[in-house]
Amino acid sequence: MAEESKPLDLTKYIVREAPPTVYYIPEFVTESEQADLLKQVYSAPKPKWTQLSGRRLQNWGGLPHPKGMVQDKLPPWLLKHATYLGKLPVFKGKAPNHVLVNEYEPGQGIMPHEDGPLFFPVVSTISLGSHTLLDFYHPLKKNTESQVTTLQDRYFMSLLLEPRSLLLLTEDLYTSYLHGIEGRAHDIFTTDIVNREQCKLSKELGSTLIRSTRISLTIRHVPKILNVKVKLRR
């Protein structure tokens, strides 16, 4: 990770072939930082994991809720990165206070979705261990005269997220489009990958990328916090 004395110049990392605005920063964390983060994730107490049908995850900082989040302190190993990211101009002074840790085994993914209004409209994701393809879709238009479209009809681009990279989604790309990960064990390097020129992986078009286990750290700011004081009974 870049030193705090040397903040990122995000203008160098804009993916200009995508709608506004996405920043892709390869090799954001070092190999030793990646190893330490993975060690911390897998050292978490077993109750910290939540098992879903297609993956498992950890919540740090609290559970976001429409009525507000009861905030917990982030552990030091996550606070370090959240503090650094919060100083980037895209967060506009809103310090990240929540981290979602997702584990994806090969063949696992997540359905296309929006991150929604529970969060400040910036999502930052650090990828660890493996690459993945993050796919983007146009939202379903409410027009009774139009023909029914499939999800694939609405697909329009992908981003290759390499191990140790940082992704920042902001503006229209956060608010106006769906994103998801298709559950498969490998990906094909094609022209649909709009950040391919910024990737460090040297791959030819048509080549195959084999997935392994990936951990994603999704670091966000939850604006609505509940001030709850827990009273202990004696």
The whole-number average pLDDT for the span 93-106 is: 97
Where residue 2 falls among pLDDT bands split at 50, 70, 90?
A: low
How, if at all, do strands 225-226 and 69-70 pair? parallel
Which of the residue ranges 69-78, 168-177, 223-232 would you say has the lowest mean pLDDT?
Answer: 223-232
pLDDT digits (tens, 9 = 90+) for 160-191: 999 999 999 999 999 999 999 999 999 999 99
The whole-number average pLDDT for the span 123-147 is: 85
Phi, psi of 220 (to 5 degrees): -140, 170
Where residue 116 falls among pLDDT bands split at 50, 70, 90?
A: confident
H or E stretch at 100: strand 98-104
Question: Any residues with CB less than 8 A from the CB of 199 and at least 6 apart, and which?
Answer: 24, 26, 160, 162, 193
Encoded tokens for 71: 């905030």
Q: Where are the domains of the chain?
A: 21-140+151-223
37-46 contacts, C-beta under 8 A, 24 or more apart:
37/77, 37/126, 37/128, 37/215, 37/217, 38/128, 38/129, 38/215, 40/75, 40/77, 40/78, 41/101, 41/103, 41/128, 41/215
Where residue 144 falls among pLDDT bands split at 50, 70, 90?
A: very low
User: Does residue 149 contact residue 156 with C-beta atoms inside 8 Å?
Assistant: no
Calculate what percentage of the chain has a pLDDT beyond 70.
91
- pLDDT of residue 4 exceeding 60: no
pLDDT digits (tens, 9 = 90+) for 14-25: 999 999 999 999
H or E stretch at 117: none
Helix/strand/coil percent split, the chain, to 5: 20, 30, 50
Average pLDDT, the chain: 91
CATH dotted code for 21-140+151-223: 2.60.120.590
